[in-house]
Structure 1
Amino acid sequence: MTACTWSDCDGAIDDTDYCDTCGRPAETPRAAAEGSTSRRSRTGDPLSLPVFDFPDPTSRIFTDPRVPVRNRRCGNPDCPDPTALPALGAGFCLACGTAFSFLPSLEPGDLVADQYRVVGCFARGGLGWIYLARDTHLDDNPVVLKGVIDVADADLATAERQALTTIDHPNIVRIYNFVSHPEAHTGTPRTYIVMEYVDGLVLNEVAEQSRHGSLPLGEPLRTEHVIAAGLQVLAAFDYLHERGLLYCDLKPDNVIVRSGRHGERGNRIKLIDLGAVRRVGDRSGKVVGTRGYQVPAAEIAERGLTVQSDLYAVGEMLHQLYLATADHTGQYDTVDRRRVEVGLRSFRRLCNRAKHNDPDRRFASAADMADQLRGVLREVASLRDGQPRPEPSTLFVHTATLLDDGLGAVPALRRWIDAPPHDLLLDDGRPARDVVAVGLPVPRAPPTARRPTCWPPPTPRTRAGCSTGWRGRDCGRPRRRSSGAVPDSPRSTSTRRPRA
């Protein structure tokens, strides 16, 4: 055992990390906070992401963009051997004969749609290379070009593009335009999404560097960082799901943490790839996802892609990022790791629930998962620095009644003097039953379910004529609020129903 760190105590620290004499912890939360080099601590906001420096985007351009052989796969889902590709930039699969190309479809200097000047490749996604370009119509501001999935139905493609360009959320990259440009090697026209450029690191880079002992965020990666990023991802998912859209391809490579070099600390996480977004219930398009982050094929065949499949990917991403944290690897402070272990178990249980094999056992919504994740964040942060972070209950209305204020109260001196010792009966301080019945918190009323303005819900036959948008999920059009009452059921006593 080691000596107690408090100057006024001569005790020793036992196996519980507390002094056996004064009962205080081995190190005080205040001392630990003052000794930290974290820029996050100096701002007084221990739950936010740290600020870090990020280089100029042109420094990340690949001079010789190539796909490693280990990452090459045949694009044919029925290929008997997806790895049987020759070591060439383009060619044909040796197993099934499907054509492939890992060459960039845009070259530096290309002018796309007479507006976007290509600088070069700086990343690669599931649908090909991602390009940095300059908007020649807007002061050469940097933008990102990324290929999209080919959609056979032109009307459907137009509707999907309109839906994506209307997305406006601080945690989702903004889409400016859809443009077409012939490929450099084949001359075949290809469609690209024009997105805002976000300066920062993809979470996969953060995890890889942290796993090898680097400090990409300027301080050790901790579970609080992972949770803070997850909460902003869930905020973006809640926004998409409320509009009847699924993200479908969440992974650390598709999420960027912004540098925050100008002092911005909120809304630092951005979803950067919307190429796989689809409507809830749509089974007509190609399923795009990443192995390990996508639900099993049997679930997709039975249910299709759902809100629960999106949340499954969130749970898996949080788990993979946690494996790179100092809390898991123990690279920096093992004492600190032991102190927060209870909170880490709560975090792991949350991830396991999000990834449950039974979709019905997962979280019901992104908002539901975010509510639980915020509780875990408060738990881990409070265990780490010793500062309580209470928050009002989301299930019960706040009440000022104290039911335990009399427990353990010592009777007044008169009570001891007036009563003989053998007749002294002490009140244990428990409240009366009527006081308990009146003082218990009242459950909060559940939020009123929002009902569509078209009733009954549109069927596939009537969906095309729906002008109200069944929560934006069936007819795919913006929802319009009704100025009149909506019948509660098809058997309503109302003589007229809103027209569909």
Structure 2
Amino acid sequence: MLSPGDRFEGYVVDAVVGRGGTATVYRAHEIRPPERTVALKMLTDRPPRPDDSARLDREFALGRRLAHPHIAAVIAHGPGWLAMEFLAGGPITNLPVRSDRLAAVAQIADALDYLHGQGVVHCDVKPANMLLRASFVDDGAALADFGSARELGEVAPPRTTRVTASLPYSAPELLLGRPVGAATDEYALVCSAVELLTGAPPFTAATTMGLTAAQLASPTPRLSRHIAWLPHAFDSIVAKALAKQPEARYSTCAEPIALITRLLRP
């Protein structure tokens, strides 16, 4: 663990901004010009576990391939650590207005469609990985955390093998360890959009087993029956985006978000 004021690999630590199961994220700044503020992600275990190191290496390698205004930039990398763009606005849930949340999700959808054009699937799209820059009006939102990303068509490890905060957004093919594609991220994006609009993702359950079963087999809930301000057409858009078979979903991430935005426009 590092403390504020500690120096590490050309950075000075300012504060801890997040802790996960395998890593701690610090706000830090470069010692030398351009003296950028960065998010410094460090693996907790010393020495790092091989799987965690491989995940971080993959996150850096994929990040260096990408250049999009709504994807968080990676800056530097070393054994057990990664420096990336610091997104000072925090998570997308900091936006209090529904229309702004939808605008931010639309930016993430554009980033995902770009990502898929580069042959990459994020595989961990969720509100916690949608972050805001210091001025949302000027600079918007950005997609972060590519540690779970895979190549299009690659098989990701079945998500049911461990408890994960990503389960409410996990498409059936990801849960079953089948090849992932653009539709995998679309599923997660629309689950996230539903949560950002209504306060909860489409599928919920008290246990991991119950939530997994719901994602795999339960029909998409008709939310307009319980939320008065949602039009019935919202249910149809969400149901198509969350089809159990990837080929039945929309062809891009931008399409369902654009439809939802038009539908809910005042």
1:107 aligns with 2:107: no
Does 1:118 find its partner at 2:17? Answer: no
Contact kept? 1:257, 1:269, Cα under 8 Å: yes
Which of residues 17, 20, 36 in structure 2 aligns to 1:141?
36
Mapped pair 1:356 → 2:243: yes
Name the aligned partner's letter for residue 137 of structure 1.
Answer: R
- Going from structure 1 to structure 2, the CA distance change for 1:286 and 1:128 (only over 3 Å counts) comes to farther
Pair 1:248-2:248 in alignment: no
SS of the aligned residue for 2:71 comes to coil
2:24 alignment counterpart:
129
Instruction: Give, in angstroms, the shift of residue 321 of structure 1.
Output: 0.7
Determine the C-alpha separation between the residues in 2 that align with 1:308 and 1:126: 27
What is aligned with 1:199? 88
Q: TM-score, normalised by structure 1?
A: 0.41
> Is the 1:248–1:289 Cα contact (8 Å) retained in structure 2?
no
- Does the Cα contact within 8 Å between 1:203 and 1:255 map onto a contact in 2? yes
Which residue of the partner structure matches residue 292 of structure 1? 168
Structure 1 residues 307, 124: CA separation in 2 closer, same or farther (over 3 Å shift)?
same
Q: 1:161 and 1:253, CA in 2 relative to 1: closer, same or farther beyond 3 A?
A: closer
Indicate conservation of the 8 Å contact 2:60/2:74, yes or no.
no
Q: Which residue does 1:271 correspond to in 2?
A: 143
How far apart, CA to CA, are the structure 1 residues paired with 2:78 and 2:261? 42
Change in Cα spacing, 1:345 to 1:291, as seen in structure 2 (3 Å) is same
For 2:233 and 2:21, the matched residues in 1 are separated by: 33
The answer for unaligned runs of 5 or more in structure 2 is 201-226
Deviations 1:35-86 (A, max 9, x none): xxxxxxxxxxxxxxxxxxxxxxxxxxxxxxxxxxxxxxxxxxxxxxxxxxxx
Question: Could you say what secondary structure the match of 2:62 adopts?
Answer: helix
- How far the C-alpha of 1:109 sits from its partner, in A, is 3.0
Q: Which has the higher contact order (CA 8 A, sep 6+)?
A: 2
Q: Which residue of the partner structure matches residue 409 of structure 1? A: none
Question: Which TM-score applies when normalising by structure 2?
Answer: 0.73
Q: Deviations over 1:421-441 (max 9, x none)?
A: xxxxxxxxxxxxxxxxxxxxx
Structure 1 residues 170 and 299, CA gap change in structure 2 (3 angstroms) = closer
Q: 2:135 aligns with which of 260, 271, 279?
A: 260
Superposed CA offset, 1:147-169 (max 9, x none):
469656x9998676333213111
CA distance in 2, matches of 1:201, 1:242: 27
- Aligned positions, number: 232
DSSP 3-state at the match of 1:165: helix
Return the offset for 1:317.
0.3
Q: Which runs of 5+ in 1 are unaligned?
A: 1-104, 181-190, 207-215, 326-336, 385-500
SS in 2 for 1:303: coil
What corresponds to 1:280 in structure 2?
Answer: 152
5 Å-filtered alignment, 1:359-398, equals 359-366=246-253, 370-381=254-265, 384=266
Report SS of the residue matched to 1:137.
coil
Distance 1:157 1:146 in 2: 9
Letter in 1 for 2:6: D
Identity %: 24
Q: What is the Cα deviation at residue 132 of structure 1? A: 0.6
* 1:259-307 residue CA offsets vs partner (Å, 9 max, x unmatched): 427x62xx511112222222223337786871211124x6543523332
Deviations 1:8-46 (A, max 9, x none): xxxxxxxxxxxxxxxxxxxxxxxxxxxxxxxxxxxxxxx
Which residue is 1:304 aligned to? 179
Query: What is the identity, as a one-letter code, of the residue corresponding to 2:77?
Result: F
| Aligned equivalents of 2:12, 2:191: Cα separation in 1 | 37
Paired with 2:153 and 2:59, the residues of 1 have a C-alpha distance of 14
Alpha-carbon distance in structure 2 between the residues aligned to 1:376 and 1:292: 20
**In the alignment, which of 304, 316, 319 is matched to residue 191 of structure 2?**
316
Structure 2 Cα separation of the partners of residues 295 and 144 of structure 1: 29
Distance in 2 (CA, whole Å) between partners of 1:240 and 1:290 is 19
- Mapped to 1, the partners of 2:120 and 2:257 lie a distance apart of 22
Q: 1:258 to 1:138 in 2, by over 3 A?
A: same
**Aligned runs of 1:197-236 on 2, under 5 Å?**
197-204=86-93, 206=94, 217=96, 221-222=97-98, 224-236=99-111
Give the direction of change, closer, same or farther, for the CA distance of 1:361–1:283 in structure 2 (3 Å limit).
closer
More strand by share: 2
Does the Cα contact within 8 Å between 2:102 and 2:261 map onto a contact in 1? yes
Q: CA deviation at 1:231?
A: 1.1
Q: Confirm or deny: 8 A CA contact 1:112 1:179 kept in the other structure.
A: no
What is the alpha-carbon root mean square deviation over aligned residues? 3.3
Answering whether residue 63 of structure 2 is matched by residue 164 of structure 1, we say: yes
Spell out, residue by residue over 1:356-385, the C-alpha distance to the aligned partner (whole angstroms, 9 max, x if none): 22322212332xxx134324423432xx2x
For 1:231 and 1:117, the matched residues in 2 are separated by 35
CA drift of 1:139 comes to: 4.7
